[in-house]
Amino acid sequence: MTKISAFLLGSVTAGAAFAGWLWWTDAERGQAIASTPARVTDTSLLVRTATIEARLAARELLLTGSLVAREEVMVAPELPGLRYIAVPVEEGDRVEAGQVLARLDTAVLRTQLAQVEAHLERARAAILQGEAQLREATALAREADANFRRADAIKASGAVSVEQLDQRRAQAAAATARVAAAEQGTQLARADRAAAEAQRQELITRIAKAELTAPTAGIVLRRSARLGAASDGEAAFVILRDGLIELDAEVSETTLASLVPGMPVRVVVAGATTVLGSIRLVAPTVDSVARQGRVRVALAAEPSLKPGMFARGTVDLAALPALLVPESALRFEGPNSFVYRLDGEHARRVPVITGIRRGGLVEVRGAIEAGERVVLGAGAFLRDGDRVRIAEGAAQ
């Protein structure tokens, strides 16, 4: 065989082998493709669900507000213009009823009192003098009247002349006039004494008022009185009566009706311990704009409590039937809340109003019923009417 013939025979053999390999590879690929099943498209979402429960739910009402004085007592000087010469108490001091809070300078008042007392002594002396003059004038008037009567009785006998009779008549009249004058002088002296006594009593009262005392026991909240400053008639002290502090809170008009005086309240104060209290007052009116009513909660005595502090109170209300779902079932859109209720294979969006929350459950009110199922933890991907599948072992 020639070299050319051998080369041609090798080329043909190699080409046949390569063609056989290509055929076998294509056959294997086709068999593999034929053995792969067609993919099934499923657009439903896998979700977890929970059953809506109907049960008696213990309700709690949260009250928020500030601590306020139950009653503030204003202590103001009644003598404006006098200087403070002593201010023995400070803000925060506890005082008792009748305790001296401040003293005003009474030097001018005491000088006036001394003058009035001197005037009073003169009036008393004038009364004594007038009474003595009245007694003397009365005696002389009686004597003059008796002389006139005797002369008048014997005038017919001629023993007394007409001139003498007229003289005795004039003497009797003059004596009577002196009695009247003495009585008037005595009355004026007594009136002068009464006026002096009234002035004296007024000054004594004013001097007593120069000492400011606490009208009730309590704690000094504010003190504007300053040593050496002049009183201006404004409140110099503000006292927290008996140290009583309350929580002043606002609640909605729908909740106000469920609160009554005497209900216990647990109050947590910022920076202080938890204290116990009770509702003292439920306001008889509601704000027509905010639809809120005020509630006052009396608190147990606690030195750490200060007016103005922020506080939260919790009131246990009566248990009522409620529909409860896990908190993770709630979805929110702005101020509105809703749940996805299971309707066959679809999730339906249902608006709800939330109520009490406790133990991971929340009360809901809306177009839902006990026993129905709601989707838990639905993300933003779930839409109203979407098809869903319940994950195995995920139902609650």
Q: Domain map of the chain by residue range?
A: 56-69+244-390, 72-105+210-242, 106-208
Confidence at residue 156, expressed as pLDDT on a 0 to 100 scale: 65
Q: Which residues contact 346 (CB under 8 A, 6 or more apart)?
A: 385, 386, 387, 388
SS3 286: coil
9: tokens are 């025979």
Report the alpha-carbon distance of residue 310 to residue 119 in Å, rounded: 61
The mean pLDDT values, 10 residues at a time, for the chain of 396 residues are 38 43 42 36 78 84 91 92 94 93 93 92 87 83 80 71 77 83 86 91 92 94 93 91 92 85 92 87 88 91 88 86 90 89 90 84 90 82 85 60
Fold entry, domain 72-105+210-242: OB fold (Dihydrolipoamide Acetyltransferase, E2P) (2.40.50)
Confidence at residue 144, expressed as pLDDT on a 0 to 100 scale: 81
Find, among 272, 276, 225, 281, the residue nearest to 249 by Cα. 281
CATH class assigned to 56-69+244-390: mainly beta
Find, among 347, 354, 349, 242, the residue nearest to 301 by Cα. 242
Confidence at residue 17, expressed as pLDDT on a 0 to 100 scale: 45
Within 10 angstroms of residue 370's Cβ, the number of other Cβ atoms is 13
Confidence at residue 118, expressed as pLDDT on a 0 to 100 scale: 93
